[in-house]
Amino acid sequence: SLAFLGSLFKIHHKLNSSLSKIYAKGLLVPAVAMMITLYAFYNAVDFKVTEYEIFIDKRSAIPSIDAVMISDLHVGTSIGKKEITEIKAMIEELSPQIVFICGDLFDHASYEEIMRFTAEKLGSIKTEYGTFFVTGNHEYYLGDMSEILSYFEGTGIRVLQDETIMIGDIYIAGRKDIRENERIPLSKILEGTEKIRPVIVLDHQPNAIDEAAENGVDLQLSGHTHNGQLFPFNYIVGLANHTHYGIVDEGALKAVVSSGIGTWKYPVRTGSSSEIVRVRVNFLK
């Protein structure tokens, strides 16, 4: 109706008038900057679930595994006790059979109480095959690795440090971070494994994917890159890493690189999402 059109015109006129005043007073740029900043704080803790389905061309008595991977929590920055409790609830709602924590759980922003709380809370998640953790570069930067690893004692989290375990007839290998001088070559870690069996590698940084492919690995799970965290770094971070986000297909090897669920240094994120990764891994029967 004409009355409705008239009201729309008035709203449009008032909006133009308000924007003109903001622009005239030189407030447009600060206003936009404020909006982006508020979005960045909100987006940092607006957790998403990203889902992948992987097919591995090797036989297993286990037809498939529903796994959840989280990485790069950097607890104490954007993630506190409230967020840890929320993340735990989100993971439990997904009902995974196994949970992987792929490094940078802690950094210099993490204090003793939050580290203990995090390890205990995430370690209490009940799964069929368990919860596994590998260290990242920020755990390495903290210096005393034995102290860091002590927070996991008595929790339901098993730390893998350049070692291989078996879940049924599936190998799970966890690597120390690439920054660690004592890191063992993957060929040595996988020594004695049967190449006809599926091999999954947890490696915080996605910079040894070629080594994984050369050693017959079927799936690698990594984090580290944050997919840039802040625009425009989400377009630049790939230059410093083998890959910066998503699925990597290297023939028989598949790799999943997560943007992580926490933030580094500042509790803001604009160039990517904070994510929990759900991976359904299928094997030949």
Q: Which of 83, 146, 81, 142 is nearest to 116 (CA)?
A: 81
- 147's CB contacts (< 8 A; 6+ apart) are none
| 61-70, 107-116, 263-272: least confident range | 263-272
Is there a contact between 227 and 191 (Cβ–Cβ < 8 Å)?
A: no
The predicted-structure confidence for 16-33, as pLDDT tens digits, reads as follows: 665 565 555 555 567 666
pLDDT in tens, 219-267: 999 998 877 655 655 556 556 555 677 888 888 899 999 999 988 887 8
The predicted-structure confidence for 129-180, as pLDDT tens digits, reads as follows: 999 999 999 899 988 899 999 999 999 999 999 999 999 999 999 999 999 8
Q: What is the mean pLDDT of residues 104-121?
A: 94
Coil, strand or helix at 16 = helix
CA–CA–CA angle 278, 284, 285 (5° rounding): 115
Distances (CA, A) of 5 to 2, 9, 14, 18, 91: 5, 6, 14, 20, 49
pLDDT band at 4 (very low <50, low <70, confident <90, very high): very low
Contact 79, 47 (CB under 8 A): no
CA 53 to chain centre: 17
Q: Are 215 and 190 in contact (CB under 8 A)?
A: yes
Convert the pLDDT of each residue in 187-204 to its tens digit.
999 999 998 999 999 999
Ordered domains of the chain (ranges, CATH): 2-37 (no CATH), 47-284 (3.60.21.10)
pLDDT at 167: 96
pLDDT at res. 194: 93
Cβ contacts of 281 within 8 Å, gap of 6 or more: 54, 56, 64, 65, 67, 198, 200, 219
Structure tokens at 106: 């802690």
Q: How distant is the alpha carbon of residue 185 from its chain centre?
A: 24
Q: What pTM was computed for the model? A: 0.86
